[in-house]
Amino acid sequence: MPYLFTSESVSEGHPDKVADQISDALIDNFLAFDPSSKVACETLVTTGQVVLAGEIKTDTYLDVQKITREVIRKIGYTKSEYMFEANSCGIFSALHDQSADINQGVDRLVDNNDFESKANAQGAGDQGMMFGYATNETDNYMPLPLDLAHAILREMSVIRNNELELMPYLRPDAKSQVTIEYSDDDQPIRIDTIVVSTQHDDFADDATMLAKIKEDIINIVIPRVKAAQKAELHGLFTDNITYYINPTGKFVIGGPHGDTGLTGRKIIVDTYGGKGAHGGGAFSGKDPSKVDRSAAYATRHIAKNLVAAGLCDQVLVQVSYAIGVAKPCGLYVNTYGTAKVDMHDGAIAEKVSEIFDMRPYAIEQRLKLRNPIYSETAAYGHMGRKNEIVKKTFGSNGNTKEVEVELFTWEKLDFVDKVKAAFGL
């Protein structure tokens, strides 16, 4: 029987995403000047105020206020009427040293400098389970409802930052939601509902405002989103889509003034939009010794390569750890009955564990996670993004450093041939 599935996204100006972006900007700056930094940084944003709190072990010094203001400015909170503005907001830092009790299980001194010694010495930064998911319903192996929800807000962000004459009233805060009808064999049939709520400048007349925003979303944003999809998906965009555009009415008060934001509150937006599963741990503000982040990336890397290799149509991969222990407690694979090989999922998991080394140090090295690559992850999802090499510039205490880094390494299909060989595909 056909069914409906829904996913949501939020813009870079959403208060929780503002917090995520500040936390990850601090991570990047610490790693740029000291790649061995251990950081757990939480951010709270509210009316005219930013609070930074967390634990850090590093050899570098940062002007955290300057970095925070640069992030807020880049997002677009640059006007006093927003009641949260880059140049004037207060910034309180309560960052302090990392607990030595935690660090002793993560950083152990080793006599040998070889890979195996380091891999066995570096334990997981915490206990817990992490999940990765992939499906072949989109070119980037992401669930379609989330992919479209992200795409809507990315187009609105492009317009707000580069083509404001098209929708001159847009402000930074926005949310989207997409509901898709699937057939009983899990194929998308049509888009049922699209919800968009966007912060905007004040209008003289509320009815005129609602009509104008709805018209622009349907006639400007949605056609651009449709055009960016592969041809097979264009038929999903019918004239029978139900639209809810700013359904509560006026949305002038938004951002951190309208709703307090915290790091790590958008973990489903960050991952798979509710498809698959989630272990509960947030990503932003954490260095890669925290397996909440690094192992979630590693399981996505596994899942994507399995599907791309043709092993299955969709797959969920789980890994779990004990704090301070390098070897995972377990690896679980669920192909939802879509496996193309005559093997139970348990046997598939055994082979997968032979292909992918899931010790925390091995993950860090394989995916190049000790580089400043995290600011780009903090809005529009950590998964399904473009793998590319970029140059980034950082400044600290009068010093400037330019580094070349590879973004979204967990999206690479560099293990497809190994998977095919292992499973005889």
DSSP calls for 219-272: IIIHHHHHHTS-GGGGGG--TT-EEEESTTS---S-HHHHS-EETT--HHHHTT
Helix (H, G, I), strand (E, B), or coil: what is residue 58?
coil
CB-count burial class (<10 Å; 0-12, 13-18, 19+) for 406: middle
What's the pLDDT score for residue 236?
97
Distances (CA, A) of 70 to 132, 153, 199, 326, 397: 32, 22, 21, 37, 16
CB distance 279 to 128 below 8 Å: yes
What tens digit of pLDDT does each residue of 192-207 get?
Answer: 999 999 999 999 898 9
d(CA 89, CA 83): 8
Residue numbering of the annotated binding site: 14, 16, 42, 55, 98, 173-175, 250-251, 259, 265-266, 282, 286, 290
What's the pLDDT score for residue 88?
96
What's the pLDDT score for residue 45?
98
Nearest C-alpha neighbor of 178 from the set 210, 220, 150: 150
Long-range contacts of 323-326 (CB under 8 A, 24+ apart): 323/102, 323/105, 323/123, 323/124, 323/125, 323/126, 323/127, 324/104, 324/105, 324/106, 324/123, 324/124, 325/105, 325/123, 325/124, 326/119, 326/120, 326/121, 326/122, 326/123, 326/124, 326/359, 326/360, 326/361
What tens digit of pLDDT does each residue of 53-65 get?
Answer: 999 999 988 999 9
Under CATH, to which class is 3-8+144-255 assigned? alpha beta
Residue numbering of the annotated binding site for L-methionine: 55, 98, 259, 290
Helix (H, G, I), strand (E, B), or coil: what is residue 333?
strand
Cα Rg of the chain (Å, integer): 22
User: Which strands, in side-by-side order, build the sheet including 38-46?
Assistant: 90-97, 49-57, 38-46, 261-262
Q: Where are the domains of the chain?
A: 3-8+144-255, 128-136+288-423
Total-model pTM: 0.95
CB distance 60 to 372 below 8 Å: no
pLDDT at 316 over 60: yes
What's the pLDDT score for residue 100?
57
CB-count burial class (<10 Å; 0-12, 13-18, 19+) for 105: middle
pLDDT at 248 over 70: yes
Q: Give me the sign of the Cα torsion angle 225, 226, 232, 235.
A: positive
HSE-CB at 345 with a 13 A cutoff on CA atoms is 16
Residue numbering of the annotated binding site for Mg(2+): 16
What tens digit of pLDDT does each residue of 253-287 get?
Answer: 999 999 999 999 999 999 999 999 999 999 999 99
Residue numbering of the annotated binding site for K(+): 42
Nearest C-alpha neighbor of 178 from the set 231, 244, 232, 230: 244
Helix (H) / strand (E) containing 115: helix 115-121
pLDDT at 111 over 80: no
What tens digit of pLDDT does each residue of 380-395 get?
Answer: 999 999 999 999 999 8
pLDDT at 398 over 90: no
CB-count burial class (<10 Å; 0-12, 13-18, 19+) for 261: buried
Q: Which CATH architecture has domain 128-136+288-423?
A: 2-Layer Sandwich (3.30)
Residue numbering of the annotated binding site for ATP: 14, 173-175, 250-251, 259, 265-266, 282, 286
What's the pLDDT score for residue 101?
53
CB distance 72 to 43 below 8 Å: no
CB distance 322 to 359 below 8 Å: no
The proportion of the chain whose per-residue pLDDT surpasses 90, expressed as a percent, equals 89
d(CA 248, CA 344): 49
What's the pLDDT score for residue 112?
66
Task: Work out the pLDDT band at 116, boundaries 50, 70, 90.
Answer: confident
| Residues β-bridged to residue 332 | 318
Single-letter amino acid code for the residue at 52: L
